[in-house]
Structure formats: C-alpha cells, structure tokens
Amino acid sequence: MENQDLIQRGAWGSKVAFVFAASGSAIGLGNIWRFPMVVGQNGGALFVLVYILAVALIGFSVMLAELVIGRYTKKNPAGAFKFIKPGSLWKLIGYFGILTAMCILSYYTVIAGWSAGYLVKTATGSFKTGMTSELSDKLFTEFSADPLQTILFFLVMITITTFIVSKGIKGGIERWTKILMPILFILIIYLAIRALMLPGAKQGITFYLKPDFSLLSGKLVLFALGQAFFSLSLGMGIMVTYGSYISKSDNLVSSAGWVCFFDTLIAFFAGIIIFPTLFAIPGIAPTAGPGLVFKVLPLIFSKIPGGALFGTLFFLLFSIAALTSTISLLEVPVAYFVDERSWSRYKAAILVGLFVFCLGIPSALSSGGMAFFTKIDFMGKMDFIFLSLFLPIGALLICVFLGYVWGMKNATQEVLSGNPLFKLRALWSFSIKFLSPIAILIILYFIKTISE
C-alpha cells in the first residue's frame, strides 16, 4: 500500500534530497533581501542574536509539527487535516494554506522577476562605472514602473517554476534543487569572502556581530519572530506537503534541524555580504529599507574592482534562491489538485501557474506600471494580508491543532518512527502547546504597530 502511494504521489529519493528541497524553499528573498533589511533597521547584532533564538525555540518546533503532520498523513495540507479529523472544520487550515501559497506566490514571483531583470542588467553592463545614487534610484524606479519589463520577467520566472513543478518530485523539484542549492552555497560563500576583503569592512562586521544590549525592545523581538516564520516557510503547509514525501525511516528531528540551520546560515552570510559592503561605501545607511538590494547594490558594484562580475553573481544567486522558494509555493496547490481532485501533475502545474500569473499582474503593475494599482499599493496589501497576517495565523492554528486536537502523544509517536530516542520531546511539547502559540498571539496583537 505504502509503495503504491509513493509511486503515485512521488517521494524524496533520500533524506539529503528532502533537506535540499526544504532548504531551497526556506532560503529565498527572505534571507537575502529581507533579513539584512530588518537587521539594519533594528540595530544590527542584537537582532541577529534574538533571531537565532526565535528560530531555535519556536521556528524549529513549528517546522517539526508541520513535517509530522505531512509524513503521518502522506497528504497535501487540505487532505492531511481532513484525514486526522474527518468531518471537522480543521481541514480549513489546509485550504487557508493553499490560498495563502497562491497569493504569496503571485507577488513573490514579481520580485523574483525584478531580480532576474537585474541579473540581465548587470550581466549586460547596464550598471557601469560612474553610477550615482540618483541614477541608481532612477534606474530602479524606471525598471519597476515599466509594465513590459516587469511582466515579462515575472512571466519568465513563473514559467520556469511551473516547468520544474510539472516534472514532479524526483524528476523536477529534487533534481533541480540538488543542482541549484550547492551552486547557491558556493556563490554566497565566495561573495561573503569578497565582501570581507573590502577596505572598511570591519565597521560593518562590528555593526553586524557586536550586540548592543541597550537596543532590546518588544518590537525587536516581534520582528525577529515574524522574520523567522517567513524565512522558514512556515504557516501555510509547505512543510506539511514536503513532509508528506519523507520516508518513515528518516529522522524528522534532524531533518528539521538541518533546514533551520541552513536557512539561518544563508541569512547570516547574506548579512556578511551586505554590511561590510554598505559600510565600505560611506553615505549609505543600513536602514535603507526595501530598496536596499535593488537601489543600493548596483551603486556599490559599480565602485568596487570586478564589480560587474560581483554584481552578476549576486543577482544570479538572488534569482536562484527566489526560484527554489517559488517552486515550493507552487507545489502546495499542485499537490492539492493532484491528491484531492485527481488532476495530473502536468495539468495542475500549468493551470495553477496560469492562474497565479493572472493574479500577479496587478502586483507587477503596482510599482508605477499602472496608476490605480500603484495608488492602492496592491503588492504591499497582498504582502501585509498574506504574509504578516495569514502566515502567523496559520502557524498558530497548526500549533493548536497539534497540541490540543490531535495531541502531542500521537504526534510524538510519528516522530519516534525514524528517531526512537527523540530526546527533545518535552521541550517540543512545551513549545507547541505554550511558547509558540503565545508568542504568535503577541505578534498578532501588535501587528498594527509592526506594520507602521
């Protein structure tokens, strides 16, 4: 029976394949673009420290919870909750996750498209020497407001994503993440070393690694938690879906541990790339915000020796990281249509891909491409509703479901398969039942203040 299921649904070829694919989902714009941005805005090293604690104490527990549900049921999120609690409303968590995944995918891929556009621009020498901050600013504003270019690069990214997902688990996601992830690691380490060699790098490292405890605040902690959920791809059932392809003999605890470790490591290296570079060129503040990568980096690349190559590599890395995340976002709805509606994977990938493309057009046009969508800040609204609101709600519901509905006893039983000792069980139980839900409720309570 199990074999039959595996043949129909697909499965990871090995534990390493799962760790690569799940790390591919986790590592994305969140690590390379958002992590340095929030570190910069929240005073540097102390944020890094609190972030690491948030990942270890809460992110890791929620990830293990999602993997357990996925592997136990061998289903997509909607099917999984239905399977454990048939006839109840809990299956709505699954639908909620599928909706969130499609909506996040629609604008996330637009940003991935910007990155692809910048890759082409740097590779073809658009950011030559003599770049000023005004010019760089103007170039980004013009690029993101050009409907033709933004939609075209968006289309390229969603097409590649659809193609890979349509090829299935082993032949698509596994094969490609196994190629893309090692490239990403090598590139990021190379760039970090390159950044550390810049004159003036030391000041950036001090900002990034020497904590100033006087900066500790509630807001800092909340930001760190929110960033952890987003960065680890939690709260919408991605890890339920990826967990459903894991073998019963794999150790879920160490799998989750590796994914959290790699995700944090890449975010950490992204900071090592950004901060020394920022501090090496006076006049750029670490608090530059969302425009940081696209507006500021081309300026820096034009000033350092070998900058064109450095820049091309950076945007290549950025695009690869984004792509392995868009793949995981598309996989959630595709798994649903394959499992629950018996669609072929091919049909599901193409139809959902097409739908997401249509849904993303307003986002692509909301940075100046079309007055109406720009005025209502369509992309910003999508980001706030689905990322800041729906992800933590999803994670909260998963904790409540596991801790109080299905029960930690049943969940622990599933972990024991592949990890008979499970030494962290008491800590995990405590985190799922109390620590994580309370922390998320606090985030949700303060969400208004955070978004301002």
Q: Which residues bind ligand PHE (CB under 6 A)?
A: 25-26, 28-31, 104, 230-231, 233, 236, 238, 325, 328-329
Q: Which is nearer to ligand PHE, 70 or 307 (CB)?
A: 70
Least distance in angstroms from the C-beta of 65 to ligand PHE = 16
Question: SS3 breakdown of the chain: % helix, strand, coil, rounded to 5?
Answer: 80, 0, 20
The residues, ordered by sequence, that sit 6+ positions from 232 with a Cβ below 8 Å of its Cβ are: 26, 55, 59, 62, 63, 259, 260, 263
Least distance in angstroms from the C-beta of 255 to ligand PHE = 16
Q: Which is nearer to ligand PHE, 236 or 317 (CB)?
A: 236
Least distance in angstroms from the C-beta of 33 to ligand PHE = 8
Q: Which is nearer to ligand PHE, 230 or 301 (CB)?
A: 230
Q: Which is nearer to ligand PHE, 25 or 302 (CB)?
A: 25
Q: Which position's Cβ is nearest ligand PHE?
A: 30
First to last CA, the chain: 52
Q: Which is nearer to ligand PHE, 44 or 59 (CB)?
A: 59
Q: Which is nearer to ligand PHE, 31 or 255 (CB)?
A: 31
Least distance in angstroms from the C-beta of 55 to ligand PHE = 12
* 272 φ, ψ (degrees, to nearest 5): -65, -30
Least distance in angstroms from the C-beta of 83 to ligand PHE = 22
The residues, ordered by sequence, that sit 6+ positions from 50 with a Cβ below 8 Å of its Cβ are: 216, 220, 221, 224
**Helices (DSSP H) in 10-90: which residue ranges?**
15-26, 29, 35-41, 45-54, 60-73, 77-84
User: Encoding tokens for residue 351?
Assistant: 């139809």
Asked if residue 308 lies in contact with residue 125, where contact means CB atoms within 8 angstroms, the answer is yes
Cα separation, 146 vs 110, in Å, equals: 13
The residues, ordered by sequence, that sit 6+ positions from 10 with a Cβ below 8 Å of its Cβ are: 168, 169, 170, 245
Residue of 346, 22, 1, 24 whose CA lies nearest to 168: 346
Least distance in angstroms from the C-beta of 190 to ligand PHE = 21
Least distance in angstroms from the C-beta of 331 to ligand PHE = 10
Q: Which is nearer to ligand PHE, 28 or 437 (CB)?
A: 28
Cα separation, 122 vs 309, in Å, equals: 8
Least distance in angstroms from the C-beta of 39 to ligand PHE = 14
Q: Which is nearer to ligand PHE, 30 or 243 (CB)?
A: 30
DSSP code of 421? S
